[in-house]
Structure 1
């Protein structure tokens, strides 16, 4: 499962997996409780593969940030909770992504990344990060 099929929906907790697309939107399934809902095209939907985190030099794709968290945690759940203090979250994120832009990446963004990582881990969807990275490397090698 790639991050292309995982969504964050504004105003709704957690993450959702696309089940099928409809004429007016999509049917999605919650990764938290597996309930299915229909979301319209008017909903504010973010596809995880299109999200990036600001650093001082560039924007780092979310999948790369999640991979760094996975490497730091040796493939386990995070050692901190998304409910920890602002300082704890920022300190943790600084270890994961040392050059993140503190002016444009808010504590609420860090909370989401931690929460999303743990949710993806719980649903065994982080393995796809490895295969996506390998596929992209192969693709970029072929283009050169």
Structure 2
């Protein structure tokens, strides 16, 4: 699943794709059927979906892993307007390690709505380009990284003033 460039904006419903950046902030395109373009100023809270985590009992859960679990469930994903207990039960199935006290029903509704938006898009079946780069760490690449880290720093030239 390729979530590169997909963001959520605080206070705005839905998801957006980053299509550019200017002096004022980001240029975003809504991921709904309208495909409206919006300029968001630099003060707005923008969160990349690939960086979002959900509170867990021991450690935070990556949103992308929850989406993968939801995909494995398939057609059993409830509607966003379903009863709160139905949503909680479903979320406990796809994210059993989540912290039930800190993950609210509104968070679950948001995740379900994001899943419904993303699951019909072509990027759902795409490979994440950053994940393939990370998994292709060859011994040569590791050696090159070590060589870069071990390069000595250049000494500053010092000059003495004539007395």
Q: Which stretches in structure 1 are left out of the alignment for 5+ residues?
A: none
- Counterpart position of 1:6: 6
Q: What TM-score, normalized to structure 1?
A: 0.85
Query: Is 1:35 aligned to residue 36 of structure 2?
Result: yes
- Which residue of the other structure, out of 90, 95, 98, is the alignment partner of 2:96? 98
**Residue in structure 2 matched with residue 16 of structure 1 by the alignment:** 16
Point out the structure with max Rg over C-alpha.
2
User: TM-score, normalising length from structure 2?
Assistant: 0.76
1:109 aligns with 2:107: yes
Per-residue deviation at 1:43? 1.0
Q: State the 1:50 CA deviation.
A: 1.1
Per the alignment, in what secondary structure is the counterpart of residue 17 of structure 1? strand
Question: Alignment RMSD, CA only?
Answer: 2.3
Q: Give the Cα separation in 1 of the matches to 2:25 and 2:15.
A: 16
Aligned-partner Cα distance in 2 for 1:138–1:5: 20
| CA shift for structure 1 position 140 | 7.1
Q: Which has the higher strand share?
A: 1
Does the CA-based 8 Å contact 1:25-1:39 persist in structure 2? yes
Residue 68 of structure 2: aligned partner:
67
